[in-house]
Amino acid sequence: MNAWFRQHRYALGVTLRRLAAQPFSSLANILVIALALAVPLMGAAVLVSVQPIASSLTTGPEVTVFLRTSAPASAAPALAKRIQTEHGADIAGVQVVTRDQALAGLRANPAWSDALAVLPQNPLPDAVIVSLAGSDFAERAARLANVWRQWDGVDNVQLDSEWVQRLQALLRFANIGLLLLSLGVAIAVLATVFNTVRMQALSQREEITVARLVGATERFVRRPFLYLGALTVGAAGLLAIVGSLLGLQLLNGAVRELARSYGSDFALTLPSGAWLAAFILGGALLGAFSARWSVTRNTRF
């Protein structure tokens, strides 16, 4: 065990000396990789910040059934009772909104009060708002809407929460896009580390040859390069997190101002600390894998 620690300590020391021997090249590689890693990190910050807002919205869509304006006042309660009786398994609740209640709600809005004051009579219909239960909303809502449109006295059926479904579809699209972007960044990091280790291996060709002649194993030869890849990408990941935090602080000033104009409080935040630690560890492992691949291919001499 002591020999194992001694070998890894020696390899780590060799790696740090090699990085210090070429400070400009090392810092340039770390900076390039950090900029690449910051792109999916900022995307993850946006998704993590938006997700609670989307989760707080009602996910069960509401279907509004509008009656004809000529329907009697008793038609809406009767329709609500029929919906509960025939489709009780598909619904979570039913609410009747009379034309007088709808008109009173509009008159309470100053933007509508003047326009409604000149109307000779109430032009609004009675309505029944139906909240759906369970999952698979889109298919069931379309099926129920087609059934209810055929009932007597029904003028129109409208799905009120389609925008929630669009938002959820947009978030799914963004998640897939972020995954593809992360895959592209991972490939770019692999290529950068691969080329860096390749140049290091070629520049130390004579040193590696001599080490093999005196009995050095392949693990002993590869180990400093593995540390080189892991430290380079790990440091780049840490730098990407710091840069993202600074960038979010600048953005949040404008984002909070925009949110306050809508009467809300919203700010962009990075994922949790455990997620960020996994981000750095995953980057280091990716760098080590790329370095091993490169040194295996480019030290066959």
177 is written with which tokens?
A: 């896009």
In contact, 286 and 187? CB cutoff 8 Å: no
Q: Please tell me the distance from the alpha carbon of residue 270 to that of residue 46, in angstroms, as a whole number.
A: 8
Q: Report pLDDT digits (tens) over 197-207.
A: 887 777 777 77
Residue with tokens 């989307």: 54
pLDDT of residue 53: 65
For residue 125, the 8-state DSSP code is P
Q: DSSP per residue over 248-298, as a string?
A: HHHHHHHHHHHHHHTT---------HHHHHHHHHHHHHHHHHHHHHHHHHH
How far is residue 281 from each of residues 235, 238, 286, 287, 292, measured CA to CA in Å? Answer: 10, 10, 9, 10, 16
Domains and CATH numbers, the chain: 8-57+165-298 (no CATH), 62-160 (3.30.70.3040)
pLDDT of residue 167: 65
Tell me the pTM: 0.64
Q: Please tell me the distance from the alpha carbon of residue 240 to that of residue 33, in angstroms, as a whole number.
A: 8
Q: Please tell me the distance from the alpha carbon of residue 151 to that of residue 155, in angstroms, as a whole number.
A: 9
In contact, 192 and 200? CB cutoff 8 Å: no
Q: Residue 128: which of 88, 98, 153 has the closest Cα?
A: 98
Q: Please tell me the distance from the alpha carbon of residue 121 to that of residue 142, in angstroms, as a whole number.
A: 33
pLDDT of residue 88: 80
In contact, 225 and 197? CB cutoff 8 Å: yes
For residue 134, the 8-state DSSP code is S
Sorted by sequence, the CB contacts under 8 Å of residue 220 that are 6+ apart come out as 7, 11, 211
pLDDT of residue 138: 63
In contact, 276 and 248? CB cutoff 8 Å: no
pLDDT of residue 186: 84
Low pLDDT (below 70) residues in the chain = 1, 52-61, 110-119, 134-139, 160-168, 211, 216, 261-264, 298-301
pLDDT of residue 269: 85
